[in-house]
Amino acid sequence: MPAPTACTQHPSVQTRLRCSACETPICPDCAREAAVGYKCPACARHLDSTTSPRGAQGAGALERFSANVNRRTGAGGGGARSAPSGDRLAATVGARAVAVGLAAAVAGGLVLAVVLQGGFLFLISSGAIGWGVARAVYWGSEERDSPFIRAVAMTLAGFTVAIAMAFAGLSTAPPGLVFLAYPAAIYGGWIVVRGR
């Protein structure tokens, strides 16, 4: 086991933890969780720039743990004050994703209503509109991914069919088949969510 060394970013903190990429001494506050071990902020930034947005999520667990420790001990130079701003940011991003997705669902539902009244290509149209609504949700969330964003994307993709049926009425495409528009729209949304 290596001897305790001062953290490169926080010289007053002794640590035995090393970056798994460059062996730089790092403390729990600046360590970023990686697929193998922990990385220093510089190596983590490089890793984040070469991976997908989903791959950048790994740092969250260690940061939340560190913030909780700092909050309980009063250490960290304001770690307790920085957590609420992150919560507000997450709430803002979630609200924006819902608002943009809902607007896209209403617009998509109006377009799908016309297609349902014509009674042609409604399955393909439902899938394409569901895909578009799910993409709008991710665009509104600044391409962030979470279980909440996935649920909103899938729900609003299916919601477009309800909006379309409300505007088109039930005298639309073949009555028994029109309900297949729901799974088609949800499948379109699922294609987007699965790609995350």
| % of residues, the chain, pLDDT over 70 | 70
Task: Please check whether residues 46 and 109 belong to one and the same domain.
Answer: no
Q: What is the pLDDT of residues 6-17, one digit of tens each?
A: 888 888 888 888
Task: Please check whether residues 59 and 104 belong to one and the same domain.
Answer: no
Residue with tokens 């920085």: 82
Task: Please check whether residues 58 and 114 belong to one and the same domain.
Answer: no
Tell me the pLDDT band of 80, cut-offs 50, 70 and 90: very low
> What tokens appear for 87 in the block?
């919560």
Q: How many domains does the chain have?
A: 2
The answer as to whether 84 is a domain residue is: no
Task: Please check whether residues 137 and 190 belong to one and the same domain.
Answer: yes
Task: Please check whether residues 93 and 188 belong to one and the same domain.
Answer: yes
Task: Please check whether residues 139 and 180 belong to one and the same domain.
Answer: yes
Domain of residue 121 covers 89-194
H-assigned helices in the chain: 41-50, 59-73, 79-118, 122-140, 147-168, 175-178, 181-194
The pLDDT assigned to 57 comes to 46
Q: Mark which of 43, 77, 111 sits at the end of a domain.
A: 77
DSSP state of 18: B
| Residue 81: closest CA among 95, 92, 70 | 70
Task: Please check whether residues 61 and 153 belong to one and the same domain.
Answer: no
Task: Please check whether residues 130 and 153 belong to one and the same domain.
Answer: yes
Residue with tokens 């009674």: 119
Tell me the pLDDT band of 141, cut-offs 50, 70 and 90: confident
Q: Mark which of 77, 104, 129 sits at the end of a domain.
A: 77
Task: Please check whether residues 173 and 95 belong to one and the same domain.
Answer: yes
Task: Please check whether residues 71 and 98 belong to one and the same domain.
Answer: no
Task: Please check whether residues 121 and 27 belong to one and the same domain.
Answer: no
Tell me the pLDDT band of 161, cut-offs 50, 70 and 90: confident
Cα–Cα distance between 22 and 45 in angstroms, integer? 13
Mean pLDDT, residues 142-164: 88
